[in-house]
Amino acid sequence: MIGYRKILEQAARQMILIHDPDVLIRLIIKIVIKAIGLEHAGFLLYEEEKGYYTLTVSGGKSGTKLSEGFARVRRENPMVKYFSYGYRFWRDDFLIHSRIKRTLESKKMLKDPLRRQLLKELQYQMELHKAEVCLPCFFRDKLVGIVILGKKMKRKTFTFSELGYLSILASDVAMAIENAKLFQGIRIQLDKNRKLFLRMIEVLGGAIEAKDKYTSGHTSRVAVLSLKIFEELCRRGIVKKKNYQEKLRMKEMLHIAALLHDIGKIGIPEHIINKQGPLTPEERHIIEQHPVIGVNILYPLRKEFKDAILGIKHHHERYDGRGYPEGRRGCHIPLIAAIIGLADAYDAMTSDRPYRKALAKERAIGEIRKNKGTQFRPDIVEAFLNVLMREEV
Ligand SMILES: [Fe+2]
């Protein structure tokens, strides 16, 4: 088998695994330039929302390649018309500049002015794109893109077997592009849904605050700080996750738990939540039920929110085991809960409460430091201090 065929066949097999159209086209163009030995090559990709073809990728020697993004080809362009509407001057479906030139020079063509005109326009378009050969990429009947091939190195000419092979590859490329576009569309939609979902959770978290007149903005501040601590823990290698997806999932669970950590307060009488002055032991007992009430509220989502629910349930545990509701200690407290516990305590200290004024930031930090290893997990305190330090710089 000829060397370039082997390379291109390997590439074709890998194409279908790439789900980003830009990455995919870039890879193909790079391989084609190398395998065939071209001065440059490019790809005109049809962009549905814009209604025209854009030169998305251009590779090769500087000085010979075209500028990406600038070249635009409309649907009424002769090259698009030639490929799309089935005008055929030759048996194959590629445009070769030298062949067009030869045909125009032959006397036979002079007899048909319309055909001659179209060929002249095609010749002009190919020169504009420094194209020696243009190949259509069809998916079903749709012209997905046009491959532009520049001159071959050392003035070599294209062989018909090479071009025939490349045109088969072009249809594989078209299928891979459509596949990648489909994946990209699904990803965008999923991302939109996820954002909408988190906004809804945020709204729900905000609804809890309506009951507690002293905690305006508390849940979103706790969420922001918790996520920053989490990122810092990842940077320090304390959160070790096998892969990126797992880390993302954990981060999302933390985000949800932080926004809903006090959802159980919905079940606590308002006069206890907003009480001026210290709570009686009975009132304290009632208020300490809020993590478990939260778990009960979220029971219908126990499968999807498993880790977030654990974070909510244990956000008032202490590192030394003197917290509630279970008195868990050390590493038995879920990481998500321990992060929220610290962010919650810091935000509570730096906000006005019914029974006291807000502490200054420095005093609150001092309190966190003092309770490192008793109330708070030491590595989370370190990560938190680093987050604050970085923000001050
Ligand atoms: Fe709480």
Whether residues 265 and 306 share a domain: the answer is: yes
Ligand 1 midpoint to CA 260 (Å): 9
Please return the burial class of 214, using the count of CB atoms within 10 Å of its CB with bins 0-12, 13-18 and 19+: middle
Asked if residue 134 belongs to a domain, the reply is yes
CA 45 to ligand 1 center in whole angstroms = 53
Same domain, 114 and 220: no
How many angstroms is it from 49 CA to the middle of ligand 1? 48
CA of 390 to the centre of ligand 1 (A): 27
**C-alpha of residue 258 to centroid of ligand 1, in Å:** 10
Q: How far is the CA of 267 from the centre of ligand 1 (A)?
A: 12
Ligand 1 centroid distance, CA of 346 (Å): 12
Cα-to-centroid distance, 373 and ligand 1 (Å):
20
Please check whether residue 150 lies inside any domain of the structure. Answer: yes
Contact 229, 384 (CB under 8 A): yes
- The residue range of the domain holding 295 is 210-392
Question: Where residue 229 sits, what CATH number does that domain have?
Answer: 1.10.3210.10
Residue 49 belongs to a domain with what CATH number? Answer: 3.30.450.40
With a cut of 70, list the residues of the chain below it in pLDDT. 1-4, 61-70, 108-110, 213-215, 241-242, 354-355, 393
Report pLDDT digits (tens) over 253-282: 999 999 999 999 989 998 888 888 888 999
Distance from the alpha carbon of residue 261 to the mean position of ligand 1, in angstroms: 6
The answer as to whether 199 is a domain residue is no
Quote the pTM value.
0.65
Task: Specify whether 149 is located in the same domain as 225.
Answer: no
The number of folded domains in the chain is 2
Q: Are residues 151 and 260 in the same domain?
A: no
339 and 270 in a common domain: yes
